[in-house]
């Protein structure tokens, strides 16, 4: 059994009973070769390899251009600056898609041009209530999913599933040994405090629209604990290269990082482990959106449908260290990937995934305010 098949059955459909029915049958697929031309892709740094670009061009005759970015905020700010122009495909996390809709930066997708039989149906269904659909229209299709959990140096820190906790980042015996991303680590610490009965309100309540007072009360408690343990932090990271560097060269022993960070380090034969903490790994889904000002629509759909092949999905995972949404991709991956995901999600870890809720602009503003308070303390 693959980790994706287990995840599909257990968790992705939670909370989606009221969602609309997914298109089950493959629809019309764009004739990619006939369109030729170019496609401009704005995606996360480290997501697309030269091998992928060459394979796509060979398969379709379309010339791809890849521009990388490092954060969701960087992507959003760039699209706002250009009013949704300049790129044909963007790659945001699903919980941020409504922000792009609010600003008029992306366009509804044409269901008839997507190869639905190439993408894992549970991910399509699960995305519906996590931000991909707004007012009954689909603005994003899934590309991949992954987690942010605890990365650790196996030679210097022992970890066991069921005891490993986000609270370990606050331990008194790890001065100058922890790396984290400020805004998401505050959520990890929040989950730890909630498990200890030390959070004023349920963590999920702070994401609900209109609950700004709840968010502030929770963040007051979270940031207070984070500041107490700030001496533990050897490095804050904001992108993949920084997170890897914290372990590779800067002496980090423990960190809250993406799964892709640990997988990249593992492929370098470094003694790095990655495991879901007992409070649950932070889970996210990403996908393809087409900007409002895209100039190469047919080519954009051609790239999406090419990605939904087992070969392309496997190339993506090998490059990024992130599980692809492409049907059959896992079957083409080797033992390093399979052992990595088995160690990352033991026991009931898949049942306990904590999926990022939709984050509206008011919440993001508060989150950034407290993130800056933590960083500047």
List, for residues 295-339, the tens digit of each pLDDT value.
999 999 999 999 999 999 999 999 999 999 999 999 999 888 989
Q: How confident is the model at residue 3 (pLDDT cuts 50, 70, 90)?
A: low
36-40, 185-189, 245-249, range with the lowest pLDDT: 36-40
| Cα–Cα distance measured from residue 293 to residue 297, given in angstroms and rounded to the nearest whole number | 10
Mark whether 181 and 289 lie in a shared domain: no
Instruction: Decide if pLDDT at 19 tops 90.
Output: no
The reply to whether 112 and 227 lie within a common domain is: no
Percent of the chain scoring above 70 in pLDDT? 91
Average pLDDT over residues 250-258: 98
Q: How many domains does the chain have?
A: 2
Same domain, 106 and 212: no
pLDDT, mean of residues 262-270: 94
Cβ 161 vs Cβ 346: under 8 Å: yes
Question: Is the pLDDT confidence value at 22 over 50?
Answer: no
d(CA 132, CA 118): 18
Residues 134 and 150 placed together within one structural domain of the fold: no
pTM, two decimal places? 0.85
Residues 174 and 192 in one domain: yes
Q: Poorest-confidence range of 27-36, 163-172, 330-339?
A: 27-36
CATH of the domain at 193: 3.40.190.10
Structure confidence at residue 236 (pLDDT): 98
Query: What does DSSP say about strands 38-44 and 89-90: parallel, antiparallel, or unpaired?
Result: parallel
The boundaries of the domain holding residue 220 are: 146-282+353-376
Q: Do 184 and 269 share a domain, yes or no?
A: yes
Identify whether residues 288 and 251 lie together within a single domain: no
- 277 and 368 assigned to the same domain: yes
Q: Give residue 364's pLDDT.
A: 94
pLDDT for 28: 35
| pLDDT at 44 exceeding the cut of 90 | yes
Q: Quick check: 125 pLDDT over 90?
A: yes
- The pLDDT of residue 36 is 76
Distance of CA 1 to the CA centre of its chain: 23
Statement: residue 284 has pLDDT above 90: yes
Place 161 in a pLDDT band, splitting at 50, 70 and 90: very high
Q: Are residues 264 and 289 in the same domain?
A: no
| pLDDT recorded at residue 17 | 35
> Do 92 and 166 belong together in one domain?
no
Could you identify the residue written with the tokens 């482990």? Answer: 273
Q: How far apart are CA 180 and CA 186, in angstroms?
A: 9
For the residues 187-213, what does the mean pLDDT come to? 98
Domain shared by 67 and 174, yes or no: no
Nearest residue to 134 via CA among 106, 165, 112, 163: 106
Q: How far apart are CA 175 and CA 370, in angstroms?
A: 23
Q: Chain-wide mean pLDDT for the chain?
A: 91
In this prediction, residue 2 carries a pLDDT of 55
Same domain flag for 8 and 134 = yes
Mean pLDDT of 7-19: 46
Query: What pLDDT does residue 18 have?
Result: 32
């Amino acid at each position: 059994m693959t980790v994706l098949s287990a995840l599909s059955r257990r968790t992705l459909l939670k909370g989606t009973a009221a969602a609309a029915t997914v298109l089950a049958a493959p629809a019309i697929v764009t004739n990619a070769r006939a369109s030729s031309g170019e496609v401009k892709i704005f995606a996360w740094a480290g997501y697309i390899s030269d091998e992928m670009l060459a394979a796509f061009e060979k398969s379709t005759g379309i010339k791809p251009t890849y521009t990388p970015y490092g954060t969701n905020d960087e992507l959003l700010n760039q699209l706002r600056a250009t009013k949704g122009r300049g790129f044909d495909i963007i790659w945001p996390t699903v919980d941020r898609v409504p922000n792009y809709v609010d600003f008029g930066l992306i366009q509804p997708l044409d269901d008839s041009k997507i190869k639905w039989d190439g993408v894992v149906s549970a991910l399509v269904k699960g995305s519906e209530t996590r931000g991909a659909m707004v007012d009954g229209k689909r603005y994003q299709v899934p590309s991949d999913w992954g987690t942010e959990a605890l990365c650790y140096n196996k030679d210097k820190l022992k970890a066991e599933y069921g005891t490993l906790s986000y609270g370990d980042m606050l331990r008194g015996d790890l001065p100058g040994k922890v790396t984290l991303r400020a805004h998401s680590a505050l959520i990890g610490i929040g989950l730890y405090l909630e498990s200890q009965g030390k959070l004023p309100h349920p963590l999920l309540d702070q994401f609900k629209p209109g609950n700004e007072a709840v968010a502030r009360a929770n963040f007051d408690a979270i940031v207070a604990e984070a500041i107490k343990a700030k001496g533990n932090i050897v490095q804050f990271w904001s992108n993949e290269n920084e997170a890897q560097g914290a372990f590779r060269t800067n002496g980090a022993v423990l960190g809250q990082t993406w799964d892709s960070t640990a997988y990249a380090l593992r492929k370098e034969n470094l003694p790095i482990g990655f495991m879901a903490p007992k409070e649950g790994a932070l889970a996210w889904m990403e996908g393809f959106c087409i900007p409002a000002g895209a100039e190469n629509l047919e080519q954009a759909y051609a790239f999406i449908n090419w990605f939904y092949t087992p070969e392309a999905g496997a190339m993506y995972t090998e490059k990024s260290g992130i599980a692809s949404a492409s049907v059959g991709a896992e079957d083409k991956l080797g033992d390093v990937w399979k052992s990595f995901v088995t160690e990352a999600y033991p026991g009931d870890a898949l049942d306990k995934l904590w999926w990022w809720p939709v984050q509206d602009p008011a919440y993001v503003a508060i989150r950034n305010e407290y993130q800056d308070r933590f960083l500047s303390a």
